[in-house]
Amino acid sequence: MKIINLGLQDYTQTWDAMKNFTQARDVNTEDELWTVEHSSVFTQGISSKTEHLLENSNVPIVDTDRGGQITYHGPGQLIVYCLIDLKRLGIGVKKMVSLIEISIMDLLTAHSIESHLKDGAPGVYVDGAKIAALGLKVKNGRTYHGLSLNVDMDLSPFRQINPCGYQGLKVTQLSDLTDNINLDTIANELSQILANHVTRH
């Protein structure tokens, strides 16, 4: 599996690149994980409702084709896009979601942070506060989009929305839970953990 660090990128351009990659790939195309940060943007999934944006904001809003509701992306948040051929691996989307969640929890455990899941609310939580969100799109058995992990960012834009459609949902980040956090290091650690889980599933 190929792991590519894209640095800070515009959301829409990266989304277009994911769609183009997925459209062009064939049965022999190697799976890829893209690690990236985005400039400030709210993204709405296919299940999103307008009432979950609580106030007017100068942050751009993009309607996407991923699963899930509204969330926020910004500098200091790690995104890992999962360009995976599920059909070739012989797994379904629920299994892929589980592998993503397990990978995030393994990363947090490695940093001495206890985390948990919530029934019916995909993502990873620490003491009830959401630290990681996920949303996938599957086309012809192949995924794009992926996960976001709050590392060391300005969390205040989350107050302008119901994160992932949940009113009053608290959010947290790695830098509030442990010391000496570096986003590039976390990107490398998480992408390696996820690649290992996916290839060994």
Query: Mean pLDDT for each 10-residue chunk of the chain (201 residues)?
Result: 97 97 97 98 76 68 84 96 97 96 98 94 94 94 97 91 68 95 97 97 85
Q: 2-200: which CATH topology?
A: BirA Bifunctional Protein; domain 2 (3.30.930)
Distance CA 176, CA 69 (A): 25
Q: For residue 163, what pLDDT is reported?
A: 56
CA distances from 26 to 14, 103, 111, 150 (A): 20, 26, 38, 33
Whole-number pLDDT of residue 65: 86
Beta-carbon contacts of 124 under 8 Å, excluding residues fewer than 6 positions away, are: 101, 104, 105, 108, 115, 116, 117, 130, 131, 132
Indicate the domain borders of the chain.
2-200
Q: Which two tokens stand for residue 86?
A: 């599920």
Positions annotated as catalytic residues are 164
3-state secondary structure of 184: helix
How confident is the model at residue 20, as a pLDDT?
Answer: 97
DSSP 125: E
The DSSP call for residue 67 is S
Contact assessment for residue 99 and residue 31, using Cβ atoms and an 8 Å cutoff: no
Strands, sheet with 32-38, edge to edge from the N-terminal-most edge strand: 2-9, 32-38, 77-83, 142-150, 129-139, 121-126, 116-118
**Bridge partners of residue 143, in order along the sequence:** 138
Q: What is the pLDDT of residue 160?
A: 80
